[in-house]
């Protein structure tokens, strides 16, 4: 087998910026480090890598969970409690903002935030997951 090596430490990362994504997996878990309840998400970036995100529904992390839910079209009324089922998120699409982080000489993308369209075209995301797949 013939192989042409790449540059060590460089993976399949996308440049920092805004990207459409599709949720490919979502699970409710408990954080190993903090013991907090959290959601572990896997996103396929359109024409890009797979990225992981961890959302914690506590006072420090609720802003990101709220933005994620709005980005994928799961509009909830502020202040009204809901039961979240991460299985409902699989196959839904939204837009996220990625940045690149280097850890132990390796680069990987992380989700900085989720894009929420508040008014204008695109403000009402689709009610159901799209039929076509990127994967």
Strand segments, DSSP code E, in the chain are 17-30, 37-45, 50-55, 93-103, 106-114
State the Cα–Cα distance between residues 19 and 108, nearest whole angstrom: 15
Span 63-95, pLDDT tens digits: 999 999 999 998 788 888 999 999 999 999 999
Length of the chain: 135
Quote the CA–CA distance of 22 and 124 in Å, as a whole number: 17
pTM exceeding the 0.95 threshold for the entire prediction: no
The per-residue pLDDT for range 32-61, each reduced to its tens digit, is: 988 989 999 999 999 899 999 999 998 888
Q: Which residue has the tokens 């894009």?
A: 115
CA 85 and chain centroid, separation: 16
Classify residue 104 by its DSSP letter.
T
């Amino acid at each position: 087998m013939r192989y042409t090596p790449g540059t060590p430490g460089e993976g399949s990362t996308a440049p920092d910026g805004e990207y459409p994504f599709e949720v490919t997996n979502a699970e409710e878990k408990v954080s190993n480090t903090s013991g907090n309840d959290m959601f572990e998400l896997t996103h396929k970036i359109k024409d890009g890598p797979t990225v992981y995100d961890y959302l914690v529904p506590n006072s420090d992390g609720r802003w990101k969970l709220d933005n994620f839910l709005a980005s994928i079209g799961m509009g909830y009324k502020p202040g009204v409690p809901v039961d979240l089922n991460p299985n409902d998120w699989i196959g839904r699409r939204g837009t996220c903002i990625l940045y690149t982080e280097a850890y132990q000489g390796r680069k990987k993308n992380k989700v900085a935030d989720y894009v929420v369209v508040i008014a204008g075209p695109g403000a009402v995301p689709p009610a159901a997951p799209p039929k076509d797949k990127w994967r």
